[in-house]
Structure 1
Amino acid sequence: MGNSLFIVWRESVEAMLVIGILYAWLKRNDGTGAGLRALWIGIGAGIGLAALLGWGMMAAQSELAGEALEWFQTAIMFVAAALIAQMVLWMQKHGRQMKQGLERELTAAAARSGAFGIAGVAALALAREGAETVIFLYGIGMDQNGGTGLALGAGLGVLLAAVTAWALNRGLGFLNYRQFFRVSGFLLLLFAVALLVNGTERVIGMGVLPALIDPLWDTSLLVDDSSPSGALLSAFTGYRARPSLMLLVVYLGYWAIVYLTQRRLQRHA
C-alpha cells in the first residue's frame, strides 16, 4: 500500500499544481467565465482519457495468457520504471519553467481556438499525469499482485495530495514546492529501480537473461527480504538479500545513468 500511496500522492500534487497554474491564469485573463468552464471540461476529459488507458490495459491483460501475459506485465514494469526516472529528470530540468510553459501554451491555445483550445491544454496536461499514474500503479500491482491495499493506498494518496497542495499553496514555512519535488523525486527514483529489479528478475526467470552468479552474496542474516522490514525495503529500493550478479549490474547501471544525466543537466542549467 505504501508505494501506491506515495506514487498517487506525488502525481496528484503535480496534477493539482498544473490545475492551479491554469486556473490562476484564467482568473487573471478571462473575464467571461467561459475559460474556467472549458478548464473543468478539459480536466474531466483528461481524467477520462487516463481511465480509458487503464481500461485498455486491463482489457489487453484479460486477452493474454501464459508467456504472452508474462511478457506484457514485465514490459509494463520496465515502462513504468523508465517513465518514473524520465519524469523526475524532466522535472529537475524544466520544473522551474513549468508555470511559464503552461501559461504560454494556454495563451496560444486560447488565441487560436478559444474555449476549445483551453479545454485541450487542460485535457492533455491531466491526461499525461493520469496516464503516468495508471502505468505506475499497474507496474506496482504486478509486483504486489494488486489487491485492496493498492486501491486503499491510491485513495489515501489523493486525500494526502489535497492536503499537501493546500499547504504548499498557503506557503507554509516547513514545506515548499522545491523541497517537495526534490525529496519526492529522490524517492521516486528508488521506486523506479525497485520496479527495474523486479522486471529483471522476471526476465532472468524466463531464461532470457543469465543470472551470471547467483547468489553473489547473502545478507539475509542482517535483513531478510522475505521479512516484513526486508519486504518493505525491497518494495521501496529494490533491495535483495541474495542478489545475482546480473541484478547488481542492472542496479548499478541504473544509478550510473541517473547520476550522469543529472550531472549533464547541472552543467546545462
Structure 2
Amino acid sequence: MPGVALLVFREVLEAALIISIVCAATRGVSRRGLYVVGGIGLGLAGASLVALGAGVIAGLASGSGQELLNAGVLLAAVAMIGWHVVWMSRHARELARHMNAVGQAVKAGSSSLTLLLAVVALAVLREGSEVVLFLYSMAMGGIGAGGLAGGIALGVSGGALLGSALYYGLLRIPMKHFFGVTNVMLVLLAAGLASTAARFLLQANRLPALGEQLWDTSWLFSNGSLAGKTLGILVGYDASPSGIQLVSYAITLLVLLGGMRWVGRPAPVRDERVVAAAPLQAPS
C-alpha cells in the first residue's frame, strides 16, 4: 500500500497544482465549478481510454507513440495557457473592477475559461493515464484490492490537500496584485510544460539534445522527490535538463512575456480638445 499511495500522491499532486493555479486565475468567472468538474471528468475518461490502448499507442511511430502523445498533450496545454495570459494582460483591470460583484466577469472571460479549463482535462488525462497503468500493473502483480483502495485514498487525499493549500494561499493575495501574480505563475507553468514536452520529443528522437545534461542538482532536489515535483510544476524545475529543454523553456517564457507586454500596452487616447480646436479646412 505505501508504494501505491506514494505514486498516486505524486501524480495527483501534479494535476492538483495545475488545477489550483487554473482555478485561482479564473477567480470570479461564473460557472467556473462546472468547467472544472467537467474537465476532471473528461480527463479521467480519456485517461482510462489511453490506459486501455497503451500497448497500441506505445507501438506507434516506431515505438515512440507514448512520448509523442505526452508531448502533444503538453504542447496543447502550453498553447491554451499562453492564449489566456495574453488575453488577461488586456482585461485584468476590467475583471478586477467587477470582482466584488458575483458573476459580473466580462463576457470574454467565459471563452477564456473554456480554453483554460481544458488544461484541467489535459492535466488529468496525462497524470491519470499513468496512475491507471501503474495500478493495473500492481493488480496483475498480486496486490490485493484492499491495498489498492487504501493507497489510492491516501494518495488522492494527500495530493488534493496540498493543491487546495496552494489555491487558498493564492486567494489571500490582494486583488490589485492578484491577476499579476497568477499570470506570472501561469507563464512559468507554461514554460515548464514546454520544457517537459521537449524532453519527451527528445526521448522520441524528434529533437536534438543540444547538450545531454547541462547540470545535475539531484543531490539537492531529485525529480522524483516531493520538492522536485512541486518545483517542476510551479517553475519548470528539472534536476538534469538537456539543452533543448532550456531552449524550449526560454523561448516560451520570452514569447509569452513579450505577448503580454505588447497586448497590455495602453491604447493611445485622443485629446478631444485638440481635435475640437483644430481649424477646419475648406473643401477644395
Fold shared by both chains (TM-score > 0.5): yes
Take 2:235 and 2:174, find their aligned partners in 1: how far apart are those partners?
A: 25
Take 1:208 and 1:190, find their aligned partners in 2: how far apart are those partners?
A: 24
Take 1:89 and 1:236, find their aligned partners in 2: how far apart are those partners?
A: 19
CA separation of 1:215/1:6 partners in 2, compared to 1, >3 Å: closer, same or farther?
closer
Take 1:219 and 1:47, find their aligned partners in 2: how far apart are those partners?
A: 35
Partner residue in 2 for 1:114? none
Matches within 5 A, 1:233-244: 233-244=231-242
Moved more, 201-210 or 149-158: 149-158
Structure-1-length-normalised TM-score: 0.62
Structure-2-length-normalised TM-score: 0.60
Residue type matched to 1:54 in 2?
A: G
Shift of 1:56: 5.0
> Given the alignment of the two structures, is residue 188 of structure 1 paired with residue 186 of structure 2, yes or no?
yes
CA separation of 1:210/1:187 partners in 2, compared to 1, >3 Å: closer, same or farther?
same
Take 2:119 and 2:210, find their aligned partners in 1: how far apart are those partners?
A: 33
**Counterpart contact for 1:211–1:246, Cα < 8 Å:** yes
Bigger Rg over Cα: 2
**Counterpart contact for 2:82–2:190, Cα < 8 Å:** yes
Take 2:227 and 2:33, find their aligned partners in 1: how far apart are those partners?
A: 40
Take 1:176 and 1:240, find their aligned partners in 2: how far apart are those partners?
A: 31
Take 2:261 and 2:219, find their aligned partners in 1: how far apart are those partners?
A: 37
Partner residue in 1 for 2:214? 216
Shift of 1:11: 2.9
Shift of 1:242: 3.1
Partner residue in 2 for 1:65? 57
CA separation of 1:154/1:80 partners in 2, compared to 1, >3 Å: closer, same or farther?
farther
Take 2:162 and 2:232, find their aligned partners in 1: how far apart are those partners?
A: 22
Q: Structure 1 or 2: larger helix share?
A: 1
Shift of 1:57: 2.3
> Given the alignment of the two structures, is residue 18 of structure 1 paired with residue 10 of structure 2, yes or no?
no
Take 1:152 and 1:259, find their aligned partners in 2: how far apart are those partners?
A: 34
Take 2:77 and 2:115, find their aligned partners in 1: how far apart are those partners?
A: 13
Identify which of 245, 248, 264 aligns with 1:247.
245
Shift of 1:76: 0.6
Take 1:49 and 1:234, find their aligned partners in 2: how far apart are those partners?
A: 26
**Counterpart contact for 1:194–1:239, Cα < 8 Å:** yes
Partner residue in 2 for 1:6? 17
Identify which of 43, 52, 57 aligns with 1:54.
43
Take 2:33 and 2:17, find their aligned partners in 1: how far apart are those partners?
A: 23
CA separation of 1:105/1:254 partners in 2, compared to 1, >3 Å: closer, same or farther?
closer
Partner residue in 1 for 2:122? 135
**Counterpart contact for 1:50–1:127, Cα < 8 Å:** no
> Given the alignment of the two structures, is residue 153 of structure 1 paired with residue 150 of structure 2, yes or no?
no
**Counterpart contact for 1:47–1:127, Cα < 8 Å:** no
Identity fraction in percent: 25
Deviations 1:102-142, CA, capped at 9 Å, x for gaps: 67759xxxxxxxxxxxxxx98x7875554332223434557
Shift of 1:16: 5.3
**Counterpart contact for 1:73–1:142, Cα < 8 Å:** no
CA separation of 1:182/1:59 partners in 2, compared to 1, >3 Å: closer, same or farther?
same
The CA RMSD over aligned residues, in Å, is: 4.1
What SS is found at the alignment partner of 1:17? coil
Partner residue in 2 for 1:80? 77
Shift of 1:175: 3.7
Shift of 1:97: 3.1
Partner residue in 1 for 2:200? 202
CA separation of 1:181/1:143 partners in 2, compared to 1, >3 Å: closer, same or farther?
farther
Residue type matched to 1:17 in 2?
A: G
Pairs aligned (count): 224
Take 2:37 and 2:218, find their aligned partners in 1: how far apart are those partners?
A: 45
Partner residue in 2 for 1:177? 175
Moved more, 55-64 or 175-184: 55-64
Take 2:123 and 2:20, find their aligned partners in 1: how far apart are those partners?
A: 12
Structure 2: 5+ residue stretches without partners: 1-11, 136-151, 268-284
